[in-house]
């Protein structure tokens, strides 16, 4: 069944390399999300796969067959994008039937499949509505169902939830995932929203300036990414520049300004320039106790519902973000200007080589 091979695909626009030698495989029934900052080439790549753009180099194979030899209308690829493209003068039912009618399906088949699709998205009672009478979320569901109705097995979704309200988006993403799993669809879903990608993808592809930076499961790219770019891109983190001071077994001591922090990281050498990353949830705040740790002053307190977000400036002038869960006994409800101690969890720190082009450039979002 469908398996997609992207082999060395590149696309150039004048001097600009929009996609640079992309290679990966997507397995049958896999749900893959592509994320990256705007301009990273994710939409160009998905358009290459759809056949809307032809790549300048490389090959795209579906089940081992070069896709470019198959005419677009025979490719059985469903494509859904951000701007909902339903026919405004047709009802929901007619929109769903359209793809089948174009393929000259019989009236019986059209009626049966259309009913199935209406049930699938739970909209049978809205079958006679026109798109304008539906909410944005409902319209996008119809667009997805219309793509499914044509019998495609591979779906390319380009920011399918991008035009929707935050709350609708969060609900619809799980419906989309469920639909894909129930029907055994293979999906490539492009999004600018890391949380969306982490929550529904089997694997996540991270792109930057036309290149694929890494591919992994959501837990891999969030908890143990291979690159500093990914670490910063998939979630908030604190990045500290430092130098390896010494190695004792599994314990690596890194000097950060006048301070030293100890991490459980192997494979480092003394004097290496590194960037230490520690996510806000692994920075603990306690009342100033005079312990031998980081000390600082709270600059900003933000209540985020299940989390409190603290911005703390250390005595050394470094800004650190700490998150505490609001249900935690440890969170004493700190205030701006409070003096606090900070504990950075050495078990959950990652070390990266100091980037050759500098930290700022490495993690730039545009």
Partner 1 sequence: MPAISFTNITKKFGKVLALDRLSFDVQNGEYLCVLGPTGSGKTTLLRLIAGLLRPDEGAIYFDGKPVNRLEAHDRNAVYVPQQYALFPHLTVLQNVAFGPLARQKPEKEALDAAWKTLEMVRLSWRAKAYPSELSGGMQQRVALARGLASGADLLLLDEPLGALDARLRLDLRHKLRELVKQSGFTAIHVTHDRDEAMSVADRILVLRGGRIQDHGVPPRVYMRPSGIFVANLIGGANLLEGIVDTVTEEISTTRMRGGLMIRTPRAPLPTTEQPVILAIRKETVEISSRDIQRDNVLKGEVREIHFLGSFREYLIRLTNGDVIASRRFLEGMESEFKVGENVTVGFDSRDIIIFAYPRQGLRKELEIS
Contact set with partner 1 (CB under 8 A): 37-39, 135-137, 165-168, 170, 174, 192-196, 198-200, 218-220, 222-224, 233-236, 279-282, 300, 302-306, 309, 311, 323, 325-327, 365-366
Residue 65's beta-bridge partner residues? 62
Give the residue with the Cβ less far from partner 1, 37 or 255: 37
Q: Give whichever of 268 and 309 is closer to partner 1, judged by the CB atom.
A: 309
Residue 162 beta carbon to partner 1: minimum distance, rounded to whole angstroms: 10
Please report how close the Cβ of residue 93 comes to partner 1 at its closest, in angstroms: 22
The minimum distance between CB 223 and partner 1, in angstroms, equals 5
Tokens for 206? 């991270």
Nearest to partner 1 of 73, 337 (CB atom):
337
Tokens 């480092």 sit at which residue? 268
Query: Residues 6 or more apart from 191 whose CB is under 8 A from it?
Result: 33, 34, 35, 159, 161, 162, 197
Q: Given the complex with partner 1, which of 17 and 199 has the nearer CB atom?
A: 199
Distance CA 142, CA 139 (A): 5
For residue 253, the minimal CB distance to partner 1 (Å) is: 24
Nearer to partner 1, 192 or 226 (CB): 192
- Using the structure block, give the residue that is written with the tokens 């002038």: 317
Minimum distance from CB of 176 to partner 1 (Å)? 13
Looking at the Cβ atoms of 2 and 218, the one nearer to partner 1 is: 218
As to burial, measured by CB atoms within 10 angstroms (0-12 exposed, 13-18 middle, 19+ buried), residue 269 is exposed
Are the C-beta atoms of residues 214 and 206 closer than 8 Å to each other? yes
C-alpha 42/C-alpha 39 separation (Å) is 8
Closest by alpha carbon to 30, among 166, 169, 217?
A: 217
Cβ 197 to partner 1 shortest distance, Å: 10
Nearer to partner 1, 75 or 189 (CB): 189
DSSP secondary structure of 168-214: HHHHHHHHHHHHHHHHT-EEEEE-S-HHHHHHH-SEEEEEETTEEEE
Task: Please state the closest distance from residue 344 (CB atom) to partner 1, in A.
Answer: 14
Dist CA 335 CA 303 (whole Å): 11
């Amino acid at each position: 069944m469908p398996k997609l091979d992207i082999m060395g695909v590149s696309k150039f626009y004048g001097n600009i390399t929009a996609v640079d030698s992309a290679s990966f495989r997507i397995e049958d029934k896999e749900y893959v999300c592509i994320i990256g900052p705007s301009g990273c080439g994710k939409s160009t790549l998905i358009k290459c796969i759809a056949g809307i753009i032809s790549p300048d180099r490389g090959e795209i194979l579906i089940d081992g067959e070069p896709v470019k030899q198959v005419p677009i209308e025979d490719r059985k690829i469903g494509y859904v994008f951000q701007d909902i493209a339903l026919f405004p003068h047709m009802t929901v039912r007619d929109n769903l039937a359209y793809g089948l009618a174009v393929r000259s399906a019989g009236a019986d088949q059209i009626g049966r499949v259309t009913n199935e699709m209406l049930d699938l998205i739970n909209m049978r009672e809205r079958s006679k509505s026109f798109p304008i009478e539906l909410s944005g979320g409902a319209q996008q569901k119809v667009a997805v169902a219309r793509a499914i109705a044509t019998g495609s097995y591979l779906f390319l979704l380009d920011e399918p939830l991008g035009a929707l309200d935050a709350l609708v988006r969060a609900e619809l993403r799980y419906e989309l995932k469920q639909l894909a799993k129930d029907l055994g669809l293979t999906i490539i879903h492009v999004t600018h929203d890391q949380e969306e990608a982490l929550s529904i993808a089997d694997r996540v592809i991270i792109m930057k300036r036309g290149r694929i930076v890494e591919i992994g499961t959501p837990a891999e790219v969030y908890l143990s990414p291979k690159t500093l770019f990914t670490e910063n891109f998939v979630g908030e983190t604190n990045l500290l520049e430092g130098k390896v001071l010494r190695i004792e077994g599994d314990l690596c001591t890194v000097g950060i300004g006048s301070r030293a922090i100890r991490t459980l990281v192997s494979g480092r050498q003394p004097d290496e320039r590194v960037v230490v990353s520690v996510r806000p949830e692994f920075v603990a705040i306690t009342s100033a106790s005079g312990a031998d740790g980081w000390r600082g002053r709270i600059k900003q307190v933000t209540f985020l519902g299940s989390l409190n977000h603290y911005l703390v400036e250390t005595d050394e002038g470094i800004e650190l973000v700490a998150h505490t869960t609001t249900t935690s006994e440890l969170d004493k409800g700190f205030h701006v200007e409070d003096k606090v101690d900070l504990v950075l969890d050495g078990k959950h720190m990652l070390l990266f080589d100091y980037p050759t082009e500098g930290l700022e450039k490495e993690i730039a979002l545009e």
